Each structure stands twice: as structure tokens, then as C-alpha cells.
Chain A
Amino acid sequence: MGRTLLDKVWDLHKVASLPTGQDQLFIGLHLVHEVTSPQAFQALADRGLTVLFPNRTFATVDHIVPTDGQRRPFADELAEQMMRAIEKNARTHGILFFGNTDDQGIVHIIGPELGLTQPGMTIACGDSHTSTHGALGSIAFGVGTSQIRDILATQTLSLSRPKVRRIEVTGALAPGVTAKDLIIRIIADLGVNGGIGYAYEYGGPAISALPMEARLTMCNMSIEGGARAGYINPDSVTFEYLKGRRFVPTGGDFDKAVRFWKSMASDADAEYADTYALDGNTVEPMVSWGINPGQAVGVTGRLPRVSDARPADKEALAKAYDHTGFEQGRTIQGLPVDVAFIGSCTNGRISDLREAARVVKGRKVSPRVKALVVPGSRAVLRQANAEGLPEVFREAGFEWRDAGCSMCLAMNPDKLTGRQVCASSSNRNFIGRQGSPHGRTLLMSPAMAAAAAIAGEVVDARQVLPAGGGNGRS
């Protein structure tokens, strides 16, 4: 029987079998940001330990940085303190720090962008959206701060091998349907806890057809379905994406790298714990209405009624309505929004901004809506500048910001207030996630969020797009 990519990566990186029954796994790439790492560096210092492989850890800042001017010191003293801590820790341990450079950005945007993320790697970061990096055919997962300490000290982790679920998406996504819609649909189908104990392997014709940035969006939200890791087997799209990026080998070494990367893909006869099949043609633009990403409906659909729900889901639905106050059974279209946020590690890449700009161009943001665009990295920002995107957004009435996590989790000054409803291209609609304990988040694609900003309510972006329609494959 053949092996999956997960099996191959696992076996290559296995250091030892541990007395607990777990495996000790070498972590090929360790990414750190300012929020979850200072306590780990302190733990290292407390024990008199050093970083074992400082050149396999890379650092950035994203969560706490302001996006309306990043001059130092930051106005928020706590943010400034966190920034100083990561600067000091990186300097002390000889870790490359991108936070003060033109490469600053969200950790899951810059890893692939710089070519640090490569097929066949094990990748860990103190951030649950580390699953993003699986889009390039790596095994990538979020860890807690104690595990960051372990990686810094040993470049390894104690882990149990997950099961692999093959998620086979046949057919093709219809025009105007994006990777964001597909992954939300998968989470809605399998549940927010359906992936516990699994890594998701996404494959099939509809996945192979996705460009790299769309694949990153898919894998990013694996964790929202409970799967700590999600990946796509490396193929020509992957190799083309990587070629020429800064940390990727060149010349003959690139050819060697490609041979290695190809060898790590799942075998045709690989064995999976189980398989879930979905017809890509049946996916429509998705919008979340509740308090977890699985509580979502197609844009032409209606919010569910608690009375119609399966017994096990009734309580969660009731809790969601208790928070949102939305009317059961209403259409999702026409739901008024107060804020539109385009950005995040899910949808803050250049193709996302292009998709949104196509909707926005020549139109005006509804007077009831505060709308902002936050590029995922300074590189995305530069590319957007080169394409004239800031002007498109600004003319329409959007605020155009600097790179960071921003209103995805509201650790910087970008927050919802009161009971505002936000059309958001981010990844979580948890209670309080966007900074107001009473705020409400509707997750959707960047094009859908842009369309909601213009209309002042949820609309079907496919009916707003210029002739030709978008297919999320910029």
C-alpha cells in the first residue's frame, strides 16, 4: 500500500520513539510572532537553555501592530512592550526578524511569500492558522507556548501521528465561487469538531485547478473544522509558485528540490483513514451567520430554524441566535452590515485584494458602512500600490491600511464597537472575536465582503461583478 504525504513527511522527520508512545519529530521550519513567543523565550532563559537551531526559526510581528501608521514607539504601550520583547529575543538568539523590514507581514502570508514554506517540511508556529502552509505540501500545525519552548530548545516536538482524511472535491467551482466558499462549505458539512484527530488532505480536480493563493485560503481554515493540519499535494502549481522566491534554491539545486518535493506527494494508492467527497459544482458563495465558522449558509439560502436542527445542534444554534439576534429562517441576503473588513491570513493576499477591487471599482461604499482593506504583508501592499489598487479602494470610500492582522482578532486599535455587524474576509466569527463582546461577524470571501460594503447589506457578489464574472482564480 502506498503512503500519504503525511506518512512520508512524518517518517523523514522522526527522531525517536518516546516513552510516552509519541514520536519525537524534527521541526524543519519554526515561525514565531510577538504574542505567543515571549513566555517561551523566558522559559528558555529560566532554564539556562539556548536555541538549538537558530537558523530554522524566523520571526515577525503581525497581531499587535497598528495599521494606521506603524511609527515607533507604538501608541499602545503594551504593544510597544511586545514589539521590544521580540526584537530583543530575536537579537539575543540570532533569529532572523522580519518585523522591522520591508518583509513584515502576517506570519502565514510571509512564510510562503518568501519561499520559507516548502513541500515536504514540518512547520510549526504558535498560531492555529499555521495549517495555511500545508497548501504547499508541508505538514504545518499550530502549537502552544510550551511547545514553542520545546522547539526553541530542541527543534523537535513530542507528537502523535494524526489520521488522514482525504477530502475529494470533484467537478469545478462555478464562476464567482472561491476557495473561501469551498472551505466554509466543507466546515459546514463536516462540523467544527469533525476534524479532531485528523489532518485533511484536499484533492481532486477542483483543488488541482486552484492557484496557490486560493490553496493557502483553503488550508488556512482547516483548523476551523477541527483539523490541526490540512494540506494539498505539491504539483506544478506549487513549483511554479516557489521558483525565484528568496529562500528557494536556484539553478540545479532547484531541480533537485523539485525531485524531492515530487517524491513527498501522496502515492496514487495511498491509504486514508476515510474519505469525504464533494461535488465542487454544488458550492455557492457562503456566508456565516452564527458564532462558529460551521454555522454558515449559501448566499441564496436562509438561516436555519432551531426547531429544524438535529437534537445535538439545537443548543449551539440557540446560543448563536441569542448572541446575533438575527431572525430565524430569514434570507442571508439583505442582512444589513455596518463594517466591512478585507484582509487577514485567510484573505489578505494580492489575489484577494484584486478580487475585491474588481467589485469595488467605480462604485461607492454605502454611507452606513465603515470599510477597510488591510494587506497581509508589506510585499502585498507594494504589489497593490504597483497595480493602483489603493486608489480604487480609496475612491470608493474604503480606508487603505498598513500590513497586519488588524480586525481579524482586534489586538490592535481596529475593533468593532457595540453590536456592529461586520462583513469579514477573516476566519473566525466567535463571540467577541473582532473586539466588541456584542459584535457580530459574517465570514465570506473578499469579493462578497466588498459587495456587502457597497450595498450596505449581504448581497450575491456574482450579481454585482462586472460582465464575465470572477472565479477566484486571479
Chain B
Amino acid sequence: MAEPESARRLVTGRGIVLRGDDIDTDRIIPARYLRLITFEELGKYAFYDERFDDSGKPKPHPLNDPRFAGGAVMLVNRNFGCGSSREHAPQSLMRMGIRAFVGESFAEIFSGNCTALGLPAVRVSHEDALRLQSLVASDPTVELCVDLESLTVAAGGQTVAFTMPDPDRRSLVAGTWDSTAMLLANRDAIVAASARIPYLHGFAQSGAASQGGSRG
């Protein structure tokens, strides 16, 4: 059977080394760039304040480093994407070409947002994260291969194991990470569930399955 176009079984590409623990979503996309009603322009603003000085001149940063240009796999450390729930963060990185994240750990909302965009965020040990980062730092042309079926990252003759929440892995591999259709398929069950939730019908003993909620 043909694989759907949305399936994310394998992500390959060059790496970008972005070191540091607890890199928050305010650093990934400063709030002033959230004053937009679409995500389209966000690729320009990823890590803006770390990449450019006050006069707009580029500063030394992995995303300004020509050696990493065209990289698709971002190599990060602990608790990447903590802070705000803004999907603008993975959106901005996706729109500048990132297709997967390999790191020690990810903030929960961030990694959920990544999955919802079809971007695997996979976890490796501290030692393996450092190893992959130094491998790519010394040879940015090395091709990384993030394989969601074997749960490994292969690069430069090395293979390291990763973990990720199984539901995320399954939805990426199956290509069902855009979940709206899957959820809406259970429409009858949704309406049935609403009928037994007391506060949705003013705490009446038995609720009608009205699309009516609390009073007011």
C-alpha cells in the first residue's frame, strides 16, 4: 500500500548544532513577532534576537553559520522549547527548513506542537546528544538519518538509539499527525460523551445531548 505523503517514517538531512539547556520559546521567537494573524512570515524571525544585534547586523549564531546552511535536523540539549505554548516557535523553525529535532528532552507543549506539524522531536541520552553535536560541528556535511521505525539516528557511521512518546511516533509514521479528521470521525461518541458530563447541562440529573453548556 502506498505510504501517505504525510507519513514521517524517515527524516534525513544535514544537522544544525544549537547548544544549551532550557532554551525557551521566547528566545526561539520573540513575542513581538507574534503580532501576525498567519504563520507564513515566521521563518525570518526564528531566534531573531540571538541572530541579530540592535542595528540588525548578524551575530555569530548557528543559524547564521554558513556551514550549517540548509540543515534540516536541529541538535539540541535539555528541556528545549520550554515556556510559552506558542506554536509560532516550531512553525518558525519549520519554515526555515527544520524537519526534525534531536535533543536530550523537550518541553511537553513544544514537542506536542512539533508532532502536530509533522516534525519528530526525538530524545537521546546526554552523552549521545553531545556526541552527535560534536560530530556535526566538526563536519557539518555529514548526513543524519532519523528513523522512526528503528528508533535510531544514524550519522557518519555511528548509530544512536532514541526514544519518543509512542503515540507521537505512531501518528508520525502513519501520517495521521494532523488529528482533526481522526477526532471528527468520532462525532457521535463526542455528542454521547457530552450528554453524561453534568456541567454541560446545568447539573440536571440526566442531560440531553444538546450542544449547550453551563448556564449563562
Contact = CB atoms under 8 A, between A and B. Distances in A.
B24 to A, nearest CB: 5
Interface in A247-293: 247-249, 253, 256-257, 260, 291-292
Interface string B57-80: 000000000000000000000110
B22 A292 contact: yes
Contacts of B182: 18-19, 158
Interface string B179-197: 1101110110110011011
Contacts of A72: none
A63 to B, nearest CB: 8
Contact of B179 (A158, A160, A223, A291): A158
A142 B37 CA distance: 19
B183 A81 contact: no
Contacts of A36: 85-87
B117 A146 contact: yes
Contacts, number: 230
Interface in A145-178: 145-147, 149-150, 153-158, 160
A13 B197 contact: yes
Q: Which of B86, B174, B214 has the most CB of A within 10 A?
A: B214
Contact of B83 (A35, A49, A128): A128
Measured as residues with beta carbon below 8 angstroms from the partner, the interface class of chain A is: 35 or more
Interface string A1-39: 000000000001111101111101010100000011011
Given A18-B182, A20-B171, A260 B198 contact: yes
B189 A145 contact: no
B202 to A, nearest CB: 6
Interface stretch (B4-12, B102-110, B135-143, B154-162): B102-110
B200 A42 contact: no
B36 interface: yes
A150 B27 contact: no
A16 B189 contact: yes
A197 B35 contact: no
B3 interface: no
A11 B77 CA distance: 35
B95 interface: no
Contacts of B174: 19-20
Interface residues of B, number: 67
B103 to A, nearest CB: 12
A432 interface: yes
Nearest to A125: B85
Which secondary structure characterizes the binding site on chain A? loop
A433 interface: yes
Contacts of B35: 35, 64, 76, 78-79, 82, 411
Q: Which of A78, A155, A226 has the most CB of B within 10 A?
A: A155
A319 B50 CA distance: 13
Given A150-B183, A260-B203, A247 B215 contact: yes
Contacts of B186: 15-16, 24, 154, 156
B180 A149 contact: yes
A428 interface: yes
Given A21-B166, A196-B105, A411-B31, A147 B183 contact: no
A128 B84 contact: yes
Contact of B203 (A76, A150, A197, A256): A256
A98 interface: no
Interface string B84-121: 11110010000000000000010111001100110000
A47 interface: yes
10 contacts: A55-B213, A78-B35, A141-B109, A143-B85, A146-B116, A156-B186, A158-B179, A228-B108, A430-B83, A432-B49
Given A319-B20, A431-B27, 19 more contacts: A21-B166, A26-B193, A28-B200, A28-B213, A52-B187, A55-B213, A78-B36, A126-B87, A144-B116, A153-B180, A153-B184, A154-B183, A155-B194, A158-B183, A192-B22, A193-B82, A253-B202, A257-B199, A316-B22
Which 9 A-B residue pairings sit nearest by Cβ, starting from the closest?
A146-B116, A144-B87, A142-B85, A144-B113, A193-B79, A437-B49, A78-B35, A38-B37, A20-B167
